[in-house]
A = this chain, B = another copy of it.
Amino acid sequence: MKKSKKEVTIYDIAEQLNVSATTVSRALNDHFSIGKETTLAVKKLAKKMGYRPNTIASSLRKNKTNTIGVIVPWIHRPFISSLISGIEEVADKAGYNVIISQSCDSFEKEVTKAQTLYSNRVDGLIVSLAMETKNYEHFYPFQQNDIPLVFVDRVSFEMEADRVIINNFDAAFNATEHLIKMGCRRIAHFAGAQHRNVYRERQEGYINALKKYNLPVDETLIVYSNLSMEEGWKGTEYLLKLSDPPDAIFSANDSAAVAAIQCAKEAGLKIPEDLAVVGFNNDRISSIVEPPLTTITHPAIDMGKIATQQVLKHKENKDVVQSETIVLKTGLTIRTSSLRKVAIKNSVQGLR
């Protein structure tokens, strides 16, 4: 049975060198007031003794943890894991750690996680809201104590806080307009929960595009779900059974869109000739599915980076009081799944 040794502290080093703990502390932090030689000697001995600074003690004293808290719905979603990657990169460069929490799209869990992170005295909090969340009081403590709070992607407009988002409305509008220009006239939509900004705005973009081109908005063509592959498959089955089925689907994410392609193909339809499909996110599967999926490009990593920069900005510059909303650009990556006009033309000419 190993006896775990006591850890080395600055006092141990001080004792050996016959200096004060203060001097050791300063030397280790390269304080200018400490002599070159002393500093060197301290560092040398520290290394030799296997000294490891105790961040906990330092944090308590300095009232600063150098840690950024993150709450996301699910870590393993492609968009989210890229987001985290961006957060971690910028945080790391600035000397910050990152504590990650999943809300699992549950309001209750989100509340608990927020409290825990607050108790851990994180220096900033980055949040992408849970599906269920409609109340934001659990973030008040952060606001009240001037802890930078940044929402990403799934945000709240009911709170004073920084936001890093994309223009979901425009993206969805462009996607839908693209389908219209490809000759589609009955365009269905896979929609998400409408109290979450991202899904509401995507639906609004879709509807406005239809209106601009004087196409009817048919509620039977709007399918609400959690946008999983399963729901995408079911939604497609439902749509294809309609007496007047759609000639296109604009899905609020890629998973459901890919499922739509697979389901329609199994039903004997040709993509995009019989059914054009556009997704959202540019997940890796979107370029692998056949035909490749036209989709909206989401700058996930950049969103993480920028959100983190916002946190850091507030830390450095205490004067920054007003909150900012940063809107990032999206792109429409056109692949085969939506090229109905071209596809139809080719097949008429007997090409391919």
Contact = CB atoms under 8 A, between A and B. Distances in A.
A288 B100 contact: no
Nearest to A80: B81
Given A120-B55, A285-B285, A85 B78 contact: no
A56 interface: yes
A75 B77 CA distance: 11
Contact of A258 (B89, B115, B288): B288
Given A52-B141, A288-B288, A100 B84 contact: yes
A77 B78 CA distance: 8
Nearest to A64: B56
A101 interface: yes
Contacts of A55: 116, 119-121
A78 to B, nearest CB: 7
A22 interface: no
Interface string A71-86: 0001111101110110
A50 interface: yes
A351 interface: no
Q: Is the interface of A mostly helix, strand, loop or mixed?
A: mixed
A236 to B, nearest CB: 15
Chain A, interface residues (CB within 8 Å), range: 35 or more
Contacts of A216: none
A348 interface: no
A53 B321 contact: no
A217 B92 CA distance: 45
A235 to B, nearest CB: 18
A48 interface: no
Nearest to A285: B288
B4 A146 contact: yes
Interface string A197-220: 000000000000000000000000
A7 to B, nearest CB: 7
Contacts of A319: 1
A187 to B, nearest CB: 24
Contacts of A5: 144-145
A98 B67 CA distance: 12
A289 interface: yes
A288 to B, nearest CB: 5
A131 to B, nearest CB: 17
Given A146-B4, A321-B1, A102 B88 contact: yes
A137 to B, nearest CB: 11
A56 B52 contact: no
B146 A2 contact: yes
A84 B75 contact: yes
A324 interface: no
Interface of A: 1-2, 4-5, 7, 50, 52-57, 59-60, 65, 67, 74-78, 80-82, 84-85, 88-89, 92, 97-102, 115-116, 118-121, 141, 144-146, 258, 284-285, 288-290, 319, 321
10 tightest Cβ-Cβ pairs between the two chains A and B? A81-B81, A76-B81, A55-B119, A76-B85, A4-B146, A290-B290, A285-B288, A55-B120, A56-B60, A75-B85
